[in-house]
Amino acid sequence: YYGLAEGSWKYFAKQWKVDYEWLKGRFKSKELMEAKGNTLSLWKHSVLDESNAKYNGGSPIKALICIGNGVSTVTETHKSKEALDKLDLVVFIDPYVNDSAVITTRNDNMFLLPAASQVENSGSVVNTGRSTQWRSQVVEPLFESRKDQEILFDFAKRLGFYNEFIAGMGKGDNFTWPEDATNEIARTLKAHGLTGVTAERLKKHQENWHLFDSSTLKGRGVTEKEYYGLPWPCWSETHPGSPVLFNTSLPVSQGGMGFRTRFGTQRNGVSLLANEGSAPVGSRIKGGYDEITAKNIEELAGITLTAEEKALVEGTNWKTDTSGILVKYALAAGLTPFGNARARTIVWEFIDNVPKHREPLHSPRTDLVAKYPATKDIPNHFRIDVRYESEQLKEDWAKSYPVNVISGRVVEHMGTGTETRASHYLSELNPEMYGELNPILAGRLGLNDGDMMWLYGTGGGKIKIKCKVSLRVDEKSVFLPQNFSGWWSGEDLTYRYPSGTAPYAMGENSNQVTSYGFD
């Protein structure tokens, strides 16, 4: 929500207590500083395709530091392997051996740093319901493992910016971890409404779990008038949190809100603000209004700022005002700090303003490609020239690849399975990789249940897996679990794991045969 413009960088520099010019000096150019970066799905193409270097300061990506991320959950793992092999430096930080460290065949400049697990560390974690929970350390890190922050602190020291790295926490050198880190996030990320999500309040919730309703999240006793985990937006340190987004049946001070004024107040002469009568209960304004700023707070909230208050908020809006004055007066007037607008269903920045069907780039239905074609190729899409139309029209994909590949998760494993496949119990429940085929398709291909089969992908990858005959898939598709690794195109990679670290369940990675194509 803050963006990458100069004003956003200056705001963060102020919050981090570092000099903006120093921050700018960390980049090759101001233009690069304010440009969008790579995405998790596209980074490999900044390594492999040197024509993309022009978007990256004139150089391909040369190093990768991967902290707890499953690289092999992204499509075209064989391309990720090529990128990992080509990089100058690769670092994996994980409690378990990241399977991508085994996939690559590089022989030097790759480091595996053992990280502490969640029970060996403490701090705040957020769920998809926007609630934050405090967790306490149970045991000291085992063996050689180290806590994430200790690894990052060491990096910062060795790279020469440790003092700047910690400047925003507490009083710099004299900081308390993880409390001051959580409070720095709360203080800084006002655009998400995290101001009220402080370490002190989260600890209070942890100490009183029994007082919260598990369905409504409402608290009782000492946590009365608060929702568990202070689901954002939580506008201030007295706000209860917002368990349901865009709920106008509650006052803003109790978790209510309208839709965010995020895309201006009008478009082509049509108002984007909420209609009269569509506002949270208790709002001073019964219809729509713009986001709260120093310029409009007096008019919208019906108040007069003192000279001192005006000086403190001058030139700011609700998400950059470090004094909290704008949010305080907005809540008092029943106003949502981010404004009150209409829900947006037409996205004018997108190629398709209204979503419509487009056939996959490698569709097995050639007849539908002409009717629902891909978009034009997009240059500099997150620093990559991404192929859409040219890839779809490159050949008649359905002739060479008539079977539709569907990949997905299985109940027993998570992500790449790096952690869950290291569990005896979970590995026993789901021990091996397979491809699920309808009996009609299996019969057409001459396959029986339990046979080994080769599956080839549109990008050149291939895997050798067991055939599992099932009525759960249609006769034109094959289902592949995405949670396996440890085999590579028919080769057992167990020997590449450090001694004693190989998972109990191993198998081919499905993303070796998934196709090129990115949002």
Instruction: Tell me the three state secondary structure of residue 170.
Output: coil
Measured distance CA(124)–CA(199) in Å, rounded: 8
SS3 384: strand
Write phi, then psi, for 70 (nearest 5 degrees): -85, 90
DSSP symbols for 406-432:
EEE--TT--TTSTTGGG-HHHHHHS-B
End-to-end CA distance of the chain: 20
Beta bridge partner(s), residue 65? 91
**What is the model's pLDDT at position 456?**
96
Cα angle value 337/342/348 (rounded, 5°): 110
What is the CA 165 to chain-centroid distance, rounded? 22
CA 129 to chain centre: 14
**Residue whose structure tokens are 């925003």:** 168
| Helix, strand or coil, per DSSP, at residue 227 | strand
For residue 349, the model assigns a pLDDT of 92
Sign of the dihedral through C-alpha 145, 146, 147, 153: negative
In this prediction, the residues of the chain whose per-residue pLDDT falls under 70 are 172, 519
The two tokens of residue 404 are 């539709």
**CB of 499 closer than 8 Å to CB of 480:** no
What angle do helix axes 199-207 and 179-188 make, rounded to 10 degrees? 120
Scanning the structure block, which residue is given the tokens 């196709």?
515
DSSP state of 144: T
Q: What is the pLDDT of residue 465?
A: 98
Residue given tokens 């200056």 in the structure block: 10
Taking phi over 0 as left and psi of -120 to 50 as alpha, with beta for the rest, 193 belongs to: left
Beta-sheet strands, E only, within 60-143? 63-67, 89-94, 110-114, 123-126, 132-135
State residue 413's pLDDT score: 95
Q: Rg for the chain (alpha carbons), in Å? A: 26
Beta bridge mates, 125: 133
> For position 519, what pLDDT does the model report?
65
Return d(Cα 100, Cα 73) in angstroms, integer. 10
Interatomic CA distance for residues 492 and 503, integer angstroms: 12
User: Mean pLDDT across the chain, nearest whole number?
Assistant: 96
pLDDT at residue number 495: 95
Contact in structure between 374 and 358 (CB atoms under 8 Å): yes
Q: Domains along the chain?
A: 261-342 (no CATH), 398-512 (2.40.40.20)
Cβ burial 484-495 (10 Å sphere, 16+ → b, else e): bbbbbeeeebee
Let me know: does 137 contact 116? Beta carbons within 8 Å.
no
d(CA 65, CA 203): 32
pTM: 0.92
